[in-house]
Structure 1
């Protein structure tokens, strides 16, 4: 499984990207643990805090294509350095905030811009341009696993820090961790080793317009929208759901950690599946499994072990959708503008994320529980499984070969 990334140069690039994602995703995916402490400390209200985090969900997605375009044009080094510093600034300012507007600026915009610019689109795009074709599928799985491992490490650690140092001290600890990742940027952003691109590469604007006209690209976005809705709802409101059941906060933090640990294995498995199966079928199976797991969760009693088993099941596909999604984008359009085009796909993911976080807050405020959100999430997961099936995808193992047009087409694929 890992033979394709054992070369020292390939392994160095892959692990550096995974390390950066571990910090940016581990930080971002733990923000939900701060909802209750911030509310207790400031009295802002759950709905107000949820809106700030929902803005963060959208911002995280909106910055992806912008950061990807800048990285495609000028290189990823400065983008990633600025991302980590901006994430640190957003976290450092949060303890001084006492109202919803300020929280939206600190966590909703600054921290989310930083974590987004240092996330999947730029990292996978930078790695893909420095890796041989046969290594990219496995490498994307390892990089993705880095983000999940960050969630596994950060969630229980931050919960302990919140209990021992208070939420402000825990927030400042994230600042230190973020800045400590800066040396990894140099390891990732060395000279490119991938094959040079075709001389007739299109300009970025033309590439984006051509991609947006591709029906398969649109279907991919529709499925990824649901993924964002699902993840943002759970990351933001799982602690609240656990609290409604009368269970201690540690159950929520360990559930998030289990999700992260399970997704390490899920991401590695997804990376290997990209080389063996059509990515659209991998995605359809993942989304369908989520609908089934939610149905089982609604049927089961709300106990500590229910949450741990639910977390393990969901965690296996949590962000394991990223390698097959990025693989489809790469098959359709090549790697030259992968950071930008995959960034746009992540934007659709985070539009769903905005709705998942925000509507979750409105639902608990209006109805007193999250039942309607669970039902909506289950239906959307089934729809996501279905919309991936018509995507036209190149045969397994076939690298991108630019035709007369600078972008790949769907002709001859299914």
Structure 2
């Protein structure tokens, strides 16, 4: 007769797969909808008579709002579980899209696309979803599960751009944005699938049993956590600069029309494989070492791309390599936070790291435009992007990834 534990095992496995699938679907919609915003810049300007600079500011603002809201969304997930946070975030996201669709003036546009969408995506992306996934699996499988969820979440980035492009061409931007709002609302019930950790799981978790203020204070005194947070700034700087300014750079290099769109699509496609692979590697090797090598691979690709002649093949090769290293940092960074501090406050602590990432994203976008205006070239920013990756690698390799809950002994001190 099978034991209770053996009979419960298949059910537990199915539940884990369901949680990973639900998390991937939520992130796929949240990140996929965000990936289409560039398609609306010119039509919004033409239809509503709004300056392009104002629309670009609204898009840039949602990155900052996302960053500042992420620690709060993570803290709410730690306290109440992911279900109410995802539902609230989907509603805010949908409201922001609807406000953008019906925006009569610039103020409503900035509130909708800049503030509401920023808050919404903070509740429906990495800090909330990967926290729920990470709590559902054993520590030795956590990195791979989060990598799988991140890879599934990348699917939306591949599929949503052509879908929205088609809707925009056939029915206009208002219909396209409202359909996006409905699709975002449709994933809200999946927050219930992500669930809330049981009391037994919470009691078994070795995470810090401190208040929110105490755990953030202790984490900020931890040298490895500070290095991880600074390194994540470099990640945001690199990705935002490339995603935003690669089309303009290729235009300056007299590359064929449409090549930039192909490159961005290749980044999204290869990111699916890269996110899963990085999660798999994080389950077999020390995660901060994998992160260090990941940043070095990025910098090598950036440096070679910048100095070598530009051809369609070199652009496609660059996009493929960058895609493999694109968002693989997310499951690795989240997993490293859980390894050091446990999962009880993982949402909050990853949220603080992600704020650093988004500050880097803002600077990558803004400085790219500023340097181009001042010098007529992106050369300084390509150099800065290369250097940021090397610096991030140097910061990650010496991180002490031992759990802070491990008893302090002369041979095994707790570092803070």
TM-score range, shorter chain: 0.7 to 0.9
CA–CA distance in structure 2, aligned partners of residues 250 and 105 of structure 1: 32
Task: Tell me the residue number matched to 2:383.
Answer: 375
In 2: Cα distance, 1:124 partner to 1:91 partner: 24
| Mapped pair 1:63 → 2:69 | yes
SS at match of 1:7: helix
Residue in 1 aligned with 2:6? none
Instruction: Tell whether the 8 Å contact from 1:233 to 1:356 is kept in structure 2 after alignment.
Output: yes
Distance apart, 1:96 and its partner CA:
3.3
* Aligned: 1:311 with 2:280: no
Match of 1:330 among 338, 363, 374: 338
How far did 1:178 drift? 0.8
Q: Which residue number in structure 2 is paired with residue 397 of structure 1?
A: none
Deviates more, 1:9-18 or 1:142-151: 142-151
Aligned to 2:164: 158
Look up the match of 1:402.
Answer: 405
In the alignment, is residue 234 of structure 1 matched against residue 242 of structure 2?
yes
Structure 1 residues 27 and 115: alpha-carbon distance in aligned structure 2, compared to 1, 3 A threshold: same
Residues 1:282 and 2:296 are matched in the alignment: no
Q: Which residue of 2 aligns with 1:356?
A: 364
Choose which of 101, 112, 119 in structure 2 pairs with 1:113.
Answer: 119
Structure 1 pair 6–189 and aligned structure 2 pair: CA distance change class (3 A): closer
The answer on whether the counterparts of 2:275 and 2:325 sit within 8 Å (CA) in structure 1 is yes
1:98 deviation in Å?
Answer: 6.2
Shift of 1:45: 4.7
User: What's the CA shift for 1:344?
Assistant: 0.6
State the alpha-carbon separation in 2 of the partners of residues 174 and 253 from structure 1.
21
1:132 and 1:194 in contact (8 A); partners too = no
Among 232, 247, 268, which residue is 1:224 paired with? 232
Displacement of 1:239: 3.7
TM-score by length of 2: 0.88
Question: What's the counterpart of residue 347 of structure 1?
Answer: 355
Aligned-partner Cα distance in 2 for 1:186–1:165: 33
Change (3 A) 1:38 1:300: farther
| CA deviation vs aligned residue, 1:75-130 (integer Å, no higher than 9, x gap) | 22111001111111111211333665443322121111101111111111122223
Retained in 1: the 8 A contact 2:233–2:358?
Answer: yes
Deviations 1:118-150 (A, max 9, x none): 111111112222323233121110111122222
Cα distance, 1:313 vs structure 2:
1.0
1:125 equivalent to 2:127? Answer no
* Higher Cα radius of gyration: 2
* Residue-by-residue CA offset, 1:365-395 (whole Å, 9 max, x unaligned): 444443332222111111111111121113x
Q: CA deviation at 1:70?
A: 1.1
- Given that 1:33 and 1:239 are in contact with CA atoms closer than 8 Å, whether structure 2 keeps it comes out as no
Residues in 1 aligned to 2:235 and 2:208: alpha-carbon distance in whole angstroms: 35
1:183 is the counterpart of 2:185: no
How far residue 326 of structure 1 moved from its aligned partner, in angstroms, is: 1.1
Deviation, 1:359, is 1.9
Aligned-pair distance for 1:267?
0.9
Residue 233 (structure 1) shift: 2.0
TM-superposed deviation, 1:6 = 8.9
Larger mean CA deviation between 363-372 and 171-180 belongs to 363-372
Q: What residue is the counterpart of 1:80 in the other structure? A: 86
The total of aligned residue pairs comes to 402
Question: 1:69 and 1:8 mapped to 2: Cα distance?
Answer: 28
Q: In structure 1, how many angstroms separate the alpha carbons of the residues matched to 2:354 and 2:260?
A: 26
1:411 paired residue number: 413
Shift of 1:17: 0.8
- Confirm whether residue 15 of structure 1 aligns to residue 27 of structure 2: no
For the pair 1:273 / 2:284, whether they are aligned, the reply is no
Structure-1 separation of matches of 2:260 and 2:168: 13
Indicate conservation of the 8 Å contact 2:404/2:414, yes or no: no
Tell me the TM-score normalised to structure 1 length.
Answer: 0.88
User: Where in structure 1 are there 5+ consecutive unaligned residues?
Assistant: 395-399
Moved more, 331-340 or 288-297: 288-297
Alignment match of 2:329 (pick from 298, 321, 324): 321
Q: In 2, distance between residues paired with 1:54 and 1:337?
A: 29
Name the stretch that deviates more: 101-110 or 236-245.
236-245
Contact in 2 for aligned 1:32/1:236 (Cα 8 Å) = no
Q: Deviations over 1:7-38 (max 9, x none)?
A: 21111111111111111111223323333444
Q: Compared with structure 1, are the counterparts of its residues 42 and 121 closer, same or farther at alpha carbon in structure 2 (3 Å cutoff)?
A: same
RMSD across aligned positions (CA): 2.8
Q: Is the alpha carbon distance of 1:411 and 1:39 closer, same or farther for their aligned partners in structure 2, counting shifts above 3 Å? A: farther
Checking the alignment, whether the CA contact within 8 Å between 1:91 and 1:175 is kept in structure 2 is: yes
Q: 1:223-262 alignment to 2 at 5 Å?
A: 223-245=231-253, 250-262=258-270
